[in-house]
Amino acid sequence: MTTHILFDVDGVFLSEERCFDASALSVWELLHAPHFLGINTAPFTDSPSEDQIRQIRQAVFQDNRVLDWMKTKGINANWDMVYLAFGAQLFLILKKLYRYDRKRVLEILNRPITEDVLQELGTWLKQIEESFTPQYDQFISLFEGEELEKHELLTYFNQLAEKWFGISIQLFSRNSDLWELGRSVFQEWYLGTKRYEQVEASLARNRGKQGFLEQEIPLVDPKVIRRVLDQLHRQGIILGIGTGRPHLETEVPLTALGLYSAFHPNHIVSSSDVIQAEEAFPDQAPLGKPHPYTYLKAYFGRETSDETLLSTSLPLKNSEQILIVGDSVADYLAAKKLGCRFAATLTGLTGKEARGKFEELGADYILDDVTQLISLFS
């Protein structure tokens, strides 16, 4: 008997397109905006046209090849995607500058990577009149030959620094200064200037960003989704959410689509909860998917202490009562660590092409979209 169904949001209810757009724009801004590196090979604007957004995303993520690679490695959060994609370009820049002044590069790598450091690097590039064109096609090759888990990917630049520059550091990780910088830029693009300043209680760097939060695209007719959720609820099943989105970015679009109220508020868990837990238990980080924390908290409820959750024995004793619904390998891996059944939806980044991957992994169910879930309980 199923007592709980826990859902991812992106790729299940909402298209990830706008989040990926915001991620690409964040990488682009960090490279080209005058308040960051200021590389002048491309002009920066805080209000790009739709055609410009398409071109930027196509370049940054190489026609989604980079996104697909990240997804298969368990990278599911857009903040992590920005950090990795920009970090790769930063290291390619440092490699170029290393030929001019090794000592200065090593000195930079001994400091947190902040806005000031990026501006300093941009000035240095201009002073030596060394042009740099982003090499987005080199991203995957930086990791070739390395069998890395997700948490190892997020600290890999420390290894790359030792490999390329012979310096031992622990500067690069999730929640590092560089990661936080990418997160804040993403939030500006996704939330827009006005909402960003309200949420973050901080001035936005640009005044013209409209934001994508109000432009979310449902993957299926929301009315049909709501009917399915209500049918499951009437069968006594508790419906919860375990998402890599922050809380606001979960509540606003799902409320607008008439879906948010279908979920039990005590069982809605977002990246906001993950960050809070990582701050309280830094030795346990990272706790984002594929770590099972998100779904573990969504199952036991928000009132359960993180200390209790992080000491829970896995797989869960009653795991057969829980079904997790997601579109990514990260969701699948989290479900398997919990011992839960997993239903894959083919509405994520690669669409129906993902069927082969989920068949190979052994997903319990593979659904064309989330509305087919009701057929499992008819």
Picking from 137, 169, 200, the residue at the C-terminal end of a domain is: 200
Separation between Cα atoms, residue 279 and residue 228, nearest integer Å: 37
Q: How many domains does the chain have?
A: 2
Q: Does 249 share its domain with 355? A: yes
Residue 129 has a pLDDT of 72
Contact yes or no for 189/213 (Cβ under 8 A): no
Picking from 168, 200, 232, the residue at the C-terminal end of a domain is: 200
Q: Does 129 share its domain with 246? A: no
Q: Does 84 share its domain with 196? A: yes
Sheet strands (E) in the chain: 4-7, 238-242, 268-269, 322-326, 341-345, 365-367
Q: Which domain holds residue 109?
A: 17-200
Q: Does 52 share its domain with 157? A: yes
Separation between Cα atoms, residue 352 and residue 348, nearest integer Å: 8
Q: Does 229 share its domain with 177? A: no
Instruction: Tell me the one-letter amino acid at 62.
Output: Q
Q: Could you tell me the sign of the dihedral formed by the alpha carbons of 96, 100, 101, 102, in that order?
A: positive
Q: Does 243 share its domain with 168? A: no
CATH number at residue 320: 3.40.50.1000
The token duo for 322 is 């829980």
Q: Does 194 share its domain with 46? A: yes
Which residue, 297, 275, 290, 371, is CA-closest to 337? 290
The token duo for 285 is 């980080």
Residue 340 has a pLDDT of 97
Residue 378 has a pLDDT of 78
Q: Does 194 share its domain with 291? A: no
Picking from 165, 200, 235, the residue at the C-terminal end of a domain is: 200
Q: Does 10 share its domain with 21? A: no
| 6 three-class SS | strand
Residue 76 has a pLDDT of 85
What is the full per-residue pLDDT of the chain (378 aa) written as tens digits? 999 999 999 999 999 999 999 999 999 999 999 999 999 877 899 999 999 999 999 999 999 999 999 998 989 889 999 999 999 999 999 999 999 999 999 999 999 999 999 999 999 998 887 678 999 999 999 998 888 888 899 999 999 999 999 999 999 998 899 999 999 999 999 999 999 999 999 999 988 899 998 888 999 999 999 999 999 999 999 999 999 999 999 999 999 999 999 999 999 999 999 999 999 999 998 999 999 999 999 999 999 999 999 999 999 999 999 999 999 999 999 999 999 999 999 999 889 999 999 999 999 999 999 999 999 997
Q: Does 22 share its domain with 157? A: yes
Q: Does 168 share its domain with 193? A: yes
Q: Could you tell me the sign of the dihedral formed by the alpha carbons of 189, 193, 199, 204, in that order?
A: positive
Separation between Cα atoms, residue 254 and residue 136, nearest integer Å: 33
Which residue, 138, 119, 98, is CA-closest to 36? 119
Q: Does 139 share its domain with 231? A: no
In a domain, residue 212? The reply is no
Residue 214 has a pLDDT of 80
